[in-house]
Structure 1
């Protein structure tokens, strides 16, 4: 069953990458650093395929496409799409240059930021993957849950429950209802055996917290507009039916909207948050270490 998703915090590094790549098309205006070729060269081995103003796309620039497929027709289609994409980018850069004015200082800053986002991001990602500790203890999860309970307020109803769907024509319906009312290890195993042999559908993971709507989907309960009253009425066995089937639900425990879920329900989300925080810490540590080493070796100067 799919668990509830909680939006995780995004590191400042990822934000930087997304923002700066978005402004790249503007920062390239009139810049000589990123031209494919600035002068036309007479070369039989590397002929020009296309040009826009003084920017040239050569045959060698497209050789990587042949590695994508061994089918000549597919290669030709890839080359055609790449060619069109290259031309579109070049004419868009030219058009942007006509309508956007950037000073050299602004341009240099944006290029530096883009270089940081592109190159340093890859380096940091490799460093993080190499040094990241992915082991998370139960104590860490429980402590984070304790300190941040209010961040996990429920937006839906969750339950621990058993569910079984039985064809009305089967004689085992009476046994199914009887077993659903019982509690105990023996009755649970008997119910599982019955479900495997006779049920049209079932969910018997009663130790797992799940979204209530996910269990009752495609059952008559899905049309019930007062699920809170249904769960709080005091009878933990719910039986409904349609023309062909009986549906049995045993609600062992529930949490309503705006309540705080148990730690087991948000355990996976907490683990992801902790891992993400470790990634951010590693990135910051790497940056500080590189800076400190450069400072100790007099690799930069600050002019007042």
Structure 2
């Protein structure tokens, strides 16, 4: 602003004075100063605009990834990376008007630091995507297979940016934790469906036989299962799974030996538990759903399928 004001106050008014003034060294310096200030302002405005658009692109990519719009998410993610490169990569220090001289402001060391910054931005964006989809896992949509497909695309970008396995492990930790929680809640729903089947079976026997033995069996079952329901209503599975394995938390959830599940029924649930633990361990190693685990979870995540699994365990324990 100072250069512009000074120039306006000192520039001559007629053509002859302008020619004489510009031909002097002092005049050329003033014009150069004015042009330099203008170019700096234009460059700063453009940088701010690109930075703002990059942030909107990042937010849009996370939102589209959550809504399973993979193509849109990848496109917006690309815009974010390109914008970041424009803002942070070496810029031109100055441009001489009416000439072709240009000088790079950034050194090789600064360029390496800039690439590290871009990688860090990509890491933060990926972590946000994993967090969003991980918590969205509790809403039931989209399917586990579709969610993992989106995250696989993000993993490919992380690999291209040379993100280390240790850094990726930190990024995917909430997602792996939610997968583990999902398998536990699947198990717990099946246990409760099994409890409903057993109670119905005992009641049917009472109605069919009207025998004292049937009534006593029903009352004994009720005396055992009522405190178990009270204890597990506020089980706090997510908190337990943060510090314990899936197998440990499942065993804490199941009734103890001699409780409302018979030995044969406990054996049937032990088989079911081993299957879920195996699938979860495979997911933990991969840092996300395996194809087998995604298909399994999507098949049994609906409550109607919970009932079918409970029936299978019921029949296997007879």
Check whether TM > 0.5: no
Larger strand fraction of residues: 1
Q: Which has the larger radius of gyration?
A: 2
Larger helix fraction of residues: 2
Q: What TM-score do you get using the length of structure 1 for normalisation?
A: 0.22
